[in-house]
Structure 1
Amino acid sequence: MKTLLVTGGAGFIGSNFCHYWAKQYPEDKVVVLDALTYAGHQEYLSELQAQAGLEFVHGDIRDYALLEELFAKYPFDHIVHFAAESHVDRSITGPDAFIETNIIGTHNLLKLAKQYWIDQEKPGHRFHHVSTDEVYGSLEADDPAFSETTAFAPNSPYSASKAASDHLVRAYHHTYGLNVSTSNCSNNYGPRQDKEKLIPLIIHNILHGKQLPIYGDGMNIRDWLYVDDHCYAIDLILQKGNAGEVYNVGGENEWANLHIVELICDLIDKKLQDNPEYLARFNSSPVANGSKARDLISFVKDRAGHDRRYAIDPGKCHAELNYHPKETFETGIAKTLDWYLTEALKA
């Protein structure tokens, strides 16, 4: 039996990780710490709190005194650190929160992990830091995908703050011997994602007959990874990953933003046409009014510093951890769409 601290566990990837972990390791104790900002929803964990004994703590990783209380109270074996400000647009208009949470908050956790694990000689610990492919900067169309040895070249306040936190995690391993690992993942999609992100935003807007804003020419390319496959990769890293190592986790699934939007438009059109209950409920959608979801697409001024392409080379994960995504993009996007339609019906 292990005791895990999962920071940001009420957010998108964090809550999915908690559901994944409860299924795989029901005997483990999981303590979730989340500040419940706009992207955190405690109700995503309500089933686990009722059935699996998960404990939720409403708090901020910037609150060092609260973190001290948690470390004194619980014998943590692992920390899985998701908590972060993560929306690039918000980092452009308000970078301070990204510096405070992503850098200072991460450092607070590292200091206490060192105090309780290294200074007290606790064996078997692991601090796993969840990062992003955005720390590597931008790729041209013909560039090779990012590897773990790609130089950092962050282009937004968000990615710069994550790069700084990655360096801190590395430093605590090399300086103090803290057992750490880092995963840099590509764009995640799936259930429980906030609708400010591309895929849930597009789904929401189609169902309510709103415009689908596409930055620039829509040809910015991202590598898409189903969220449960990301959780599976973290599990493998905790089990098999070597201390101090970085693992790039990707879906080998590159799509231009415009093409993703067009795909979702076509899938929702078909879902509504084939399901009278959906069609009646979402009567503001284009299909309910005799047109197509693609008619809602509109192009808007490009975002400042918008990276052109991200792509992850997951070869190290394949070779060292025998990691391979379990979902194809077709199965993953179908599950994602079904989840959001079911949630929309409840609203």
Structure 2
Amino acid sequence: MKILVTGGAGFIGSHYVRTLAERDDCTLTVLDKLTYAGNPANLDPVRGRITFVRGDICDAALVGDLMADHDQVVHFAAESHVDRSITGADDFLRTNVTGTHTLLAAAVRHGLGTFVHISTDEVYGSIAEGSWREDRPLSPNSPYSASKASSDLVALAYHRTYGLDVRVTRCSNNYGPCQFPEKVIPLFVTNLLDGGTVPLYGDGLNVRDWLHVADHVAGIELVRRAGRPGEVYNIGGGTELTNRELTGLLLAACDAGWDRVEYVEDRKGHDRRYSVDHTKIRTELGYHPAVDFEKGLAETVEWYRTNRPWWEPLKSRSKAAQSRLRVP
């Protein structure tokens, strides 16, 4: 089985690649543009066991050549930071919508087997109580989530119109090692380790469900191997916290007090609560999150504490941008 993984040098994609590279039943090619969030060091442990291609998913000629030589695609490549989408949506629409369409069109032309499209719970919008099921109408509220919702719909349309075996996953907030330090957990941890402050939006009561990247990767693999064509599968972690609760846990883990918190104006269009119902993937495919949140968070904090050479250059190169980043 020859699998093309787009965005495989990023946080979630590289975890997926490192996991599959340990197996003997597939050959992996990573296609990554290496934007600011793509880090070749994430793939160092599997050098020699994968093929790496630096390129853009909007490059139709390159994508066509790669698609002709592969059996399946797992599509992670995306612009994914909400704050960046608010200040400039162009890259989000180009990569997330046009790039996804470029891949889908090539997949049909070359008779690809399975196309797994990785999406997000943010496409559903905010929910006051209860949890989203996969059949809930999409109601995105940021340029980022709107671009991902658009790509979901295009992908599913390619299944219905052309018969392409498309399978969509929608995950809750991921955390774990090797996450680029613009997202809340690595941003807060690295700021605190450097003796700085952390920014908390509004009243801090926005709620997110937290999913360890290893559990996310396990869920994606279940969908790739045994999911049904044309179906959407939510992948959740089962740990809902307010941003204020999460901040408290991170402060404690870094031996810091609330005097290190800077309260800032709320983000435009900030969704109040995300929560996914992952009954479908549990009952159909046997998914269960395995990483205890307390243990996973402690291990994540320790990883950043002991891997400064990984994250310090990233923060140094984007210091100006980092000063504007906030809780998701």
Q: Normalising TM by the smaller chain, what interval? A: over 0.9
Instruction: Quote the residue 2:57 is aligned against.
Output: 61
Q: Which runs of at least 4 in structure 1 moved beyond 3 Å after TM superposition? A: none
CA distance in 1, matches of 2:168, 2:241: 25
1:244-259 to 2 correspondences below 5 Å = 244-259=230-245
1:132–1:183 CA contact under 8 A, matched in 2: yes
Instruction: Quote the residue 1:148 is aligned against.
Output: 134
| Deviations 1:107-160 (CA, angstroms, capped at 9, x unpaired) | 00000000111xxxx6xx1100000000000011xx211110111000001000
| Deviations 1:265-301 (CA, angstroms, capped at 9, x unpaired) | 10122xxxxxxxxxxxxxxxxxxxxxx3432111001
Q: 1:341 Cα deviation (Å)?
A: 1.2
Is the aligned partner of 1:29 residue 2:15?
no
TM-score, normalization: structure 2? 0.92
Counterpart among 298, 311, 316 of residue 334 in structure 1: 298
The unaligned stretches of length 5 or more in structure 2 are 313-328
CA distance in 2, matches of 1:109, 1:295: 48
Secondary structure of residue in 1 paired with 2:200:
strand
Instruction: Quote the residue 1:40 is aligned against.
Output: 38
Counterpart among 152, 158, 161 of residue 166 in structure 1: 152
Instruction: Quote the residue 2:206 is aligned against.
Output: 220
Instruction: Quote the residue 2:308 is aligned against.
Output: 344
| Deviations 1:23-79 (CA, angstroms, capped at 9, x unpaired) | 2x23421100111111100111022113xx21111111111121122224x2x1110
Instruction: Quote the residue 1:233 is aligned against.
Output: 219
Instruction: Quote the residue 1:85 is aligned against.
Output: 79
CA distance in 2, matches of 1:130, 1:249: 10
Task: Look up the equivalent residue of 1:84 and give its one-letter code.
Answer: A
Percent identical residues: 50
1:131–1:185 CA contact under 8 A, matched in 2: yes
Secondary structure of residue in 1 paired with 2:148:
helix
Instruction: Quote the residue 1:277 is aligned against.
Output: none
CA distance in 1, matches of 2:208, 2:258: 20
CA distance in 1, matches of 2:267, 2:30: 33
The unaligned stretches of length 5 or more in structure 1 are 270-291
Instruction: Quote the residue 1:294 is aligned against.
Output: 258
Q: 1:319 Cα deviation (Å)?
A: 0.6
TM-score, normalization: structure 1? 0.87
Counterpart among 240, 243, 259 of residue 229 in structure 2: 243
Instruction: Quote the residue 2:121 is aligned against.
Output: 133
2:216–2:235 CA contact under 8 A, matched in 1: yes
Secondary structure of residue in 2 paired with 1:107:
helix
Instruction: Quote the residue 1:13 is aligned against.
Output: 12
1:303-314 to 2 correspondences below 5 Å = 303-314=267-278
1:206–1:293 CA contact under 8 A, matched in 2: no
Counterpart among 218, 241, 252 of residue 266 in structure 1: 252
Q: Is the radius of gyration larger for structure 1 or structure 2?
A: 1
